[in-house]
Structures are given as structure tokens and as C-alpha cells.
Amino acid sequence: MRILPEETRCIVIDYQEKILPAMANKEALLKNSVTLLKGLKELEIPMTLTAQYSKGLGLNVKEITDAIGSEEFFDKKSFSSYGAPEVKKILDGDEVRRNVIICGIEAHVCVLQTIMDLSEAGYQPILVEDCISSRNPHDMDMAIKRAAVEGALITTKEALLFELTQGADSPHFKQISALIK
């Protein structure tokens, strides 16, 4: 299945200031995620940012909101982003964009439960495995395996950005190539 930009959106899950520091390989997670999000912005892929109980876990970090170009987020108490009524309304209101890119934390909780709910609701989740993390690397590894079983396509930021760009003749090719380098 080819992932086409006009059929795709992204949910950016909980890159919050009080939990991000506890993530395994947090520097690589943040660098990869910023590259992905800048690329998705260049490709005009709609992005929805969430925060898990922001009153307790804080806001999303500046690097992420800068990459998206917005600080707007939907606060949630359900682990699944699709369980947040505002997020569900946005997704369900768009019959064309059935592919949903997923990045964020924690892989084995909010990310995985979002994937399961999206899959069950008829969406095609796309897990960007180098843009997720958990505190414990084993939990993340197991989440990736479970996500695949639950129907998620597993990819990397570079593979996904070039797939969405579609070719060197794309008006976005130079900008995407520069981000990847």
C-alpha cells in the first residue's frame, strides 16, 4: 500500500516536559521527531498534537511545537488519543485522510492504545518507529511488535518522508532532502 499525502494525517502524542526526560534515547527521539514533523509540515500533512493530563505532566516541549508551527494541543485523560473527543471528531470528520501517522510517547501506553483504537475504527495507523520511545527499551520493542499485530504499518521517518514526497520532481524534494541530511 502506497502512503499518499492527500490521504494522510498525523497524531503527535504527548512530548511533554515532565515525561520526555525519562524516555530512553531521548536525544535521538527528539531529533528524529523534529525532522519528521518539519517534513510533514513542508508536505502540508495535517497534524494534531495531544498532551496526557497537561496539568500534571506539563506542556509539549518547545522543539516539538516549533517543528509543528503551533502550540495548540488537545488535553486528554484517556491513554488513546482517539479516546479524546476532540481528536476523534477531527479524524472522523475527514473521510479522505484514513492513513494516520503516529509518533510520540510512551510507545507501550498512549502510542499503542491509539494504534489499537484507530485500527479498530477503520483507519490505517502508520507507526514511525524511530520517533517513539518508552522509559524502558524492552517496553518499546514489545509495543512495536504488538502494533504490527494490531495492523499498524511500521516505518522510519526517512522512508516515510520520501514516500510522501513521491519523487525528485516533487516541489518538496529539496526541502525534504535537506531535512534528512
Q: How far apart are CA 23 and CA 14, in angstroms?
A: 12
Q: Please list the active-site residues.
A: 14, 76, 110
**Beta-sheet pairing, 8-13 with 47-52:** parallel
Q: How far apart are CA 141 and CA 71, in angstroms?
A: 30
For the chain, the straight-line distance linking the first and the last C-alpha, in angstroms and rounded, comes to: 26
DSSP strands (E only) in the chain: 8-13, 47-52, 74-76, 99-105, 124-133, 153-155
**Beta-sheet pairing, 8-13 with 153-155:** unpaired
The H or E element containing residue 93 is none
- How far does CA 134 lie from the centroid of its chain? 14
Q: Is the peptide bond before 106 cis (omega within 30 degrees of 0)?
A: yes
Q: Spell out the SS3 assignment of 48-61.
A: EEEEECHHHHCCEC
DSSP strands (E only) in 79-123: 99-105
